[in-house]
Amino acid sequence: MTETTQENDVPGEPTKSELEILQILWEFGPSTARFVNDHLNQHIRKVIYMSTLKLMQIMVEKGFLTKDESQMKHIYRAVVEESKTKSLLLDRVVDTLFNGSASNLMMQLVGSKKLSPDDIKTIQKLIKKLDQKP
């Protein structure tokens, strides 16, 4: 298997469009650019195939993706881990919008009234778990 990637341990922060592609690859695993483009068009927004392909090639250069060129159809796979990427982005939001205060973020989320009853139960369970820790 021939893979192409940039030698960069931390590629940085993905753009919104890059994040859309990463989310598809995290959900469905290694995929062709055609599959990613079709999914974007069906579920997110209309995108031209050549734009998706070019962006995925740029993401390989940045170190977000690898590309397996051993077959006729090139297969792209996410290099960056979903949880690490989400943590990086969430830390950025907390630092930028909430002056580094996770509690201010939580109060904003709870106060937004966009939480479902299931969301509220999940948060309550998490708080109980935190209270039980020594």
pLDDT value of position 127: 86
pLDDT value of position 109: 80
pLDDT value of position 1: 45
**Residue 87 zone, left/alpha/beta (φ > 0; ψ -120 to 50; rest):** alpha
pLDDT value of position 114: 76
Written out in words, the top-level CATH class of the domain with range 3-81 is mainly alpha
| CA trace torsion 120, 122, 128, 130 (10° rounding) | -110
For residue 43 the two structure tokens come to: 């579920």
Burial of 78 (0-12, 13-18, 19+ CB in 10 A): buried
pTM above threshold 0.75: yes
Q: What is the chain's pLDDT, residue by residue, as a tens digit (134 residues)?
A: 444 443 335 578 899 999 999 999 999 999 999 999 999 999 999 999 999 999 999 999 999 999 998 888 999 999 999 999 999 899 999 999 999 998 888 888 888 777 888 988 898 898 888 888 76
For residue 120 the two structure tokens come to: 């509220």
Domain ranges of the chain: 3-81, 83-132
pLDDT value of position 7: 38
